[in-house]
Chain A
Amino acid sequence: MMINTCSMAISFAKELENDSANFYKELSQRFSKERDLFLSFVKENEKYVMQIERAYYGVITDAIEGCFAFNIDPKDYVIRTDLTEGESYFEALDRAIKIEEIISRFYSDAAEQSKSLMADVPRAFRLVAKKRANRQEKLKSLLEKEEG
C-alpha cells in the first residue's frame, strides 16, 4: 500500500521512530557499555516524533495538498529491529547503522516529495534526516572502535 496522505506519512514516521526506539532500548539493556548513548537515542526519537507531529498539526489546513502530497512505498523503508539471541555488539551496531540509513532515507525522500506542496512538514523531515545522519556517524565511530 503506497503512502499518499500526510496522515499516513506521519503515522509511518512514528512507527519508524517507535520501532527504532525499542531497538535502542534493547541495545541499552544488552550492551551496558554504551547504555547512556542508546538511551539518549530513545529520548531523541521521542523528540523527533513530537517535532514532526507539531509541524504537521501546526500547518495542516484544508488548503494544502494533505491527501496528495506523497507517493511513498513503505516496503522501501522496512527496518529489522529484533535482536537475535547470540547477536554480537559489533553486529548490533552494524544493524543500527542500517536502520539509521533507512530512516534517514525515508525522511529525505518524504521531504523531497512534499517540498513544493506542504508547508513546514518537509522542513521537519529534513531536520530529522540530518539528525539521523549525525547519529549514523556516532554509530560508525563506535563500530570502528570495535573493529580497532
Chain B
Amino acid sequence: MAILEEPIKEVLELKNYINGEWVESKSKEVWDVVNPATQKPLAKVPMSTNDEVIQAIEAAKEAFLEWRRTPPLARARCLFRLKELLENNFEYLSRIQTMEHGKTIDESRGETRRGIEMVEVATGIPSLMMGYNLEDIAVGIDEAVVYQPLGVFAHIAPFNFPFMVPLWYSPFALATGNTFIVKPSPRDPISQVKLAELIEEAGFPPGVYNVVHGGAEVASTLIEHPDIKGVTFVGTTAIGREVYKKCGETCKRAIVQGSAKNFLVVMPDTNVEATIPALMTSFFGNTGQRCLSGANLVIVGEDDGFYRNFLDAFLDATSKIRVGYGLDETIQMGPMQSVDGKERVMRYIEMGIKENAKLIIDGRKPTIVGDYPDTCFLNPTVFENVTPNMTIAREEIFGPVASVMRAKDLDQAIEMIHGNNFGNAASIFTTSGRAAREFQYRVQCGNIGINIGIVAPMAFFPFSGMKDSFFGVLHGQGRDAIRFFTESKVVIERWF
C-alpha cells in the first residue's frame, strides 16, 4: 500500500481573508509552517498587524447589519452549499490536515467528518433558533421571547484539531446571524485557509467570515476590542484563564476550553478484547494531543492476576503501534505536531522517572516506519506504579504517555479523579450497569464515557467540561451554541 499523494506541492504564502478579499499582510514577521513528519516547509504564515485585525473587526461589524437581516433559511442555504463543498473536498482537506499537523489519515478524515457534522447541525437553524410565546399572561396580554444575534464573534484556534475546532463554533455563529473572525493556530493554519476558500465559494457575503493569521498579539486585540461580542477559545488552562479574565473585564461572552487530565478506569469485569483498542485510540490517537485523550489508566481491583494480564495486553498492543508519516495508510500514530511539543513530553518523561514512576515502555528513541527525520517523532510511553500526587499524574502532558495506576475499588478510582484539578472527560470500562451508573452519576467531569475511549460529543450535544478544563456557562456545539450566540429578547404586548 502506497503513501497517499500529498495535496500541497509547493510552499504556500498564506493571506488574510478580510471582507471577502484575500489580503496580503503587511507584517514583516512570518512563520514557517512545516510538515512535522517530513520536516518539509508547507507554507509561510504572517503574524498580522494590529491594523489588519481592526480591519477585520470593522468589516465583520459592518457585514453584521445585513447578515442579521438575512432570513435564517437563506443563511442555512449558504451552510448547505458549504456542506456540499466540504464533502466534495473531503479527501483534499483531510490530507492537508495530515500534512500540517502530522495525524494519521484516518484521524484527519475523522476530523473532517466531525467538522462537517457541525455545519450539518447548524443548517437546522430555522428550527433551532425559534423562540417561544404564551398568550394571556394576563387577560389580553401576550408574552414572547425571540433569539437575536449579537454581532461579531472571534475564535482563537488551537493546533491540535486545526480544521475541526473552529467549526465547533463558526457554523452556529453564522447560522444565528452573527459574523465571525477566526485566528487559526500559526502552527497549522492551512486547512483553515482552505475552509475559508470554500466559505467564500458557498456565497457567504463579504465580511461575514474572516480569517486573520497571527499569534498572541492578534488574539489579544480580538479579545480586548469592544466591538467583539464574544470569544471562543480552545487551548491551555493557563492561557484560557487569562482569556476568560479579559473577556470578563470587557463584558464579553466566552467559551473557554482548557487543559485536561483524563482518567480511564478499567473494572475487573471489563471485556478486555474490546477495551484494548479503545484504550489505544484514547491514549495514543492524535499522538495524545487532544483534550479528550486518556492520560491516567486506573486498573481497579486487588486481583494481581487480572492487573498483570490486563497490563500485559495493554503493553503488547502499545508496543505494536506503527509510528510514521500519517499519509502512509499503515501508520497508527503520527509525529508530535512540533519540536516544542516533543520536548515538553520528554521533560515530563524525565520527571516521571525522577519521581520514581516505573518506565516500562520508553518512547523517547522512536522507531519510525519509513525514512523520516525523528525531529518530532516519539513512540508511545507507558509508566507503571504512578501515584496521583506525581507530576505526570496531575499535569497535562499532551503527548503519547500513559500513566498506569491501581485503585482497590471504584470509590478509590473516583477519589483519584476528583483529586485532579481538571474535569474534561473520564471513562469507565465495565460490564456492570451498576458500576457504570455510579460512575456517570458521581464523577465530576463534563464528558463521561462508558466503554468509550474518546468521549467526543456529537455536534448536536454540547462539548462539556468542568473544573479547570472549562470556563464559561454555555458550551460549544448543539443547543448550547445556539444560546451562546444569541441574546434572548422578551416582548410583552397589549393592544388597546
Instruction: Point out residues on A near B: beta carbons under 8 Å.
Output: 1, 4-8, 11-12, 57-69, 116-117
Contact = CB atoms under 8 A, between A and B. Distances in A.
Contacts, number: 90
B176 interface: no
Q: Which of B161, B164, B285, B317 has the most CB of A within 10 A?
A: B285
Given A4-B330, A62-B114, 10 more contacts: A57-B109, A59-B113, A62-B161, A63-B281, A63-B456, A64-B454, A65-B281, A66-B109, A67-B106, A117-B274
Q: Which 4 A-B pairs have the closest CB atoms?
A: A66-B106, A68-B277, A62-B110, A63-B456
Contacts of B181: none
Interface string B261-279: 0000000000100100110
Contacts of A68: 277, 280-281, 317, 332
Contacts of B322: 4
24 contacts: A4-B322, A5-B105, A7-B109, A8-B329, A8-B330, A12-B1, A57-B113, A60-B110, A61-B113, A62-B111, A62-B285, A63-B110, A65-B280, A66-B104, A66-B106, A66-B107, A66-B109, A67-B104, A67-B281, A67-B332, A68-B280, A69-B277, A116-B271, A117-B278
Given A4-B330, A59-B113, A60-B110, A65 B278 contact: yes
Contact of A67 (B1, B290, B333): B333
Contact of A63 (B90, B280, B452): B452
Contacts of B332: 4-5, 67-68
A63 B331 contact: no
Interface string B198-226: 00000000000000000000000000000
Contacts of A4: 322, 330, 332
B286 interface: yes
A7 B106 contact: yes
B105 A7 contact: yes
Nearest to A3: B330
Contacts of B104: 5, 7, 66-67
B171 interface: no
Interface string B99-125: 000001111011101100000000000
